[in-house]
Structure 1
Amino acid sequence: MLEFYLNGLNAIFKVGTIGCNTMKNFLLIVLLVCLFVAYVVEANARQALALMYLMRSRMFHGMGGGLFQRLMPLYFMSEADLL
């Protein structure tokens, strides 16, 4: 009877460790996906910022400044640019 009980416990522990490993793998995959998404979003944001900076610098240096000011959406500009 005791032996049967111990075998049952061993089986449970084996299943438990397998479950733990799969859970760890799942969490690792989720973490990697989150990191990848964050990297992509950050890269897009950096690209948008670079484009914004380019447009702003062209605006300030007077190379078709009025045109850029008309083309650029207002939410890209600070109050100083609007003055």
Structure 2
Amino acid sequence: MVIETAANHSPMPRHFSLRAKLTANAMVEQAMLDSGEDKLAAQLARTSMQNIGSLAMTTEQLSCMGPNVNACCQAIMAT
């Protein structure tokens, strides 16, 4: 939402000072960067959780192969 608002913002009225305009533009740019960082962190967390789930399923399937494999799989999941 911040990115859409920032992308569609209209120019500031002429009666605002240059400093106010620069400050507002800097705030919009920072908000866009913060939003992008938040989305990236969420995507990384989601991908990590999916990978951990996949590893857990694979480990569960491999652990049925024998007692030695089960111990190895448990060590992998503990890591």
Structure 1 segments, 4+ long, off by >6 Å, are none
Higher relative contact order (CA 8 A, sep 6+): 2
Normalised to the residue count of structure 2, the TM-score between the two structures is: 0.59
2:46 to 42, 58, 67: 42
TM-score for the superposition, normalised by structure 1: 0.57
Quick check: which has more Rg, 1 or 2? Answer: 1
1:5 paired residue number? none
| Cα distance in 2 between the residues matched to 1:27 and 1:68 | 50
Equivalent AA in structure 2 for residue 67 of structure 1:
N
SS at match of 2:65: coil
> Once superposed, what is the RMSD of the aligned Cα atoms?
2.4
Pairing 1:67–2:68 present: yes
What are structure 1's unaligned runs of at least 5 residues?
1-9, 77-83
Residue 37 (structure 2) aligned to one of 33, 36, 43: 33
Pair 1:18 & 2:22 matched: yes
Higher helix share: 1
Deviations 1:28-81 (A, max 9, x none): 11110121122123212211210111111232xx222x22431214x76xxxxx
Q: Which runs of 5+ in 2 are unaligned?
A: 1-14
Task: State the identity %.
Answer: 10
Structure 2 SS opposite 1:19: helix
Determine the C-alpha separation between the residues in 1 that align with 2:29 and 2:52.
35
